[in-house]
């Protein structure tokens, strides 16, 4: 859900494939001597929080971020001096090392392995949401330099903070306003309308729908919505998490093959711990390929220009054939 104004530049609209950023292919190596996340280098990370075992080895690990800006050791004490407010840098910053294989991109993993990674997210989300010092848990992945990472080994991150951001508050207030005005969850309503209309649907499974955002702020900005109403990612069931593994992997594979392995971010937008179970908010996962850059107009106006029509992007992705157990309706 977004309340931003977006300029869909139909006059100079590009075909979806015209936004591809051509990069030299990355060398594929399953192990790198210099990588702290590769097997055998476990002592180079801070002590492990969680491990998904695989015989004597591991399938995935969770470790604290060595370079975290936030510390779990301090107390989240606030200071208010005149109009200036601050809070001590309390927080938790996990790195989820998704696979022992240095070059195994998520788009190419088995669906079941992606579901395993999502289960790890949920385990940590549940644990941290119970901590009374924590207000918001943000789970995200930065893939590629344009998405904010230079570390190649497949990984994602989780940051838990003692405050709720302005952006999340605003999203909640808009959702609450819609619920008060119309008596229903805006997301449930939107998902139903999108599935009826089909124009922006990339793929849909028993439990999820991947949809190009109406008037999306950037090309191929995709949301994966659970079809059942759930405010919090922590409410996802075992069946749903397996299904999400399939849907997310399929979407990433379509981006990988259709747009030449683009840099991207994904993030799970979920209710803060204090809002678990509310009827007006509905969690979802945003996948944002980084094909264009934010420039002066966006920074100055808070509005976005998108040169790829979302309906064309959806059609393009529907037509990218990948091996999948998930259909288009």
Which residues are near Zn ion by CB under 5 A?
32, 35, 37-38, 102, 153, 185, 187-188, 229, 282
Are 88 and 77 spatial neighbours (Cβ–Cβ below 8 Å)?
A: yes
- Residue 87 or 188: which CB sits closer to Zn ion? 188
- Residue 261 or 292: which CB sits closer to Zn ion? 261
- Residue 240 or 254: which CB sits closer to Zn ion? 240
The pair of three-digit structure tokens given for residue 99, joined into one six-digit string: 């696979």
Are 92 and 70 spatial neighbours (Cβ–Cβ below 8 Å)?
A: yes
Residue with tokens 């979806």: 16
Q: Contacts by 234-240 with C-beta closer than 8 Å and gap 24+? A: 234/122, 234/125, 234/126, 234/129, 234/270, 234/276, 235/276, 235/277, 235/283, 236/118, 236/122, 239/207, 240/207, 240/208
Q: Least Å distance between CB 266 and Zn ion?
A: 20
Q: Least Å distance between CB 92 and Zn ion?
A: 23
Residues marked as catalytic = 155
How far apart are the C-alpha atoms of 102 and 97, rounded to whole Å?
Answer: 10
- Which pairing describes strands 304-306 and 6-8: parallel, antiparallel, or unpaired? parallel
Q: Least Å distance between CB 72 and Zn ion?
A: 25
Q: Least Å distance between CB 37 and Zn ion?
A: 5
- Residue 131 or 235: which CB sits closer to Zn ion? 235
């Amino acid at each position: 859900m977004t309340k931003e104004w977006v300029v869909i530049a139909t006059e100079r609209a590009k075909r979806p494939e015209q936004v591809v950023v051509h990069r030299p292919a990355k060398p594929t190596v399953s192990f790198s001597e210099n990588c702290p996340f590769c097997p055998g280098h476990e002592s180079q990370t801070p002590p492990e929080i969680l491990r998904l075992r695989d015989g004597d080895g591991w399938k995935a690990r969770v470790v604290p971020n060595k370079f975290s800006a936030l510390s779990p050791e301090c107390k989240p004490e606030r200071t208010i001096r005149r109009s200036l407010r601050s809070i001590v840098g309390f927080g938790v910053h996990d790195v989820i090392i998704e696979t022992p294989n240095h070059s195994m991109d998520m788009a190419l993993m088995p669906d079941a392995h992606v579901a395993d990674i999502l289960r790890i997210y949920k385990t940590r989300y549940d644990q941290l949401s119970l901590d009374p010092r924590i207000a918001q848990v943000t789970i995200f992945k930065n893939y590629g330099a344009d998405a904010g990472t230079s570390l190649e080994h497949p990984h994602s991150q989780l940051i838990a903070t003692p405050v709720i951001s302005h952006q999340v508050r605003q999203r909640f207030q808009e959702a609450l306003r819609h619920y008060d005005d119309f008596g229903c969850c805006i997301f449930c309503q939107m998902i139903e309308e999108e599935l009826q209309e089909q124009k922006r649907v990339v793929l849909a499974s028993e439990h999820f729908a991947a949809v190009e955002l109406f008037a999306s702020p950037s090309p191929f900005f995709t949301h994966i919505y659970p079809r059942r109403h759930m405010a919090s990612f922590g409410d996802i069931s075992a069946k749903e998490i397996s299904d999400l593994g399939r849907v997310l992997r399929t979407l990433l594979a379509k981006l990988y093959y259709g747009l030449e392995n683009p840099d991207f971010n994904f993030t799970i937008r979920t209710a803060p711990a204090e809002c678990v179970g509310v009827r007006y908010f509905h969690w979802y996962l945003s996948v944002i390929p980084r094909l264009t850059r934010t420039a002066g107009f966006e920074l100055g106006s808070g509005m976005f220009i998108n040169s790829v029509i979302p309906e064309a992007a959806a059609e393009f992705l529907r037509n990218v054939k990948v091996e999948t157990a998930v259909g288009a309706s």
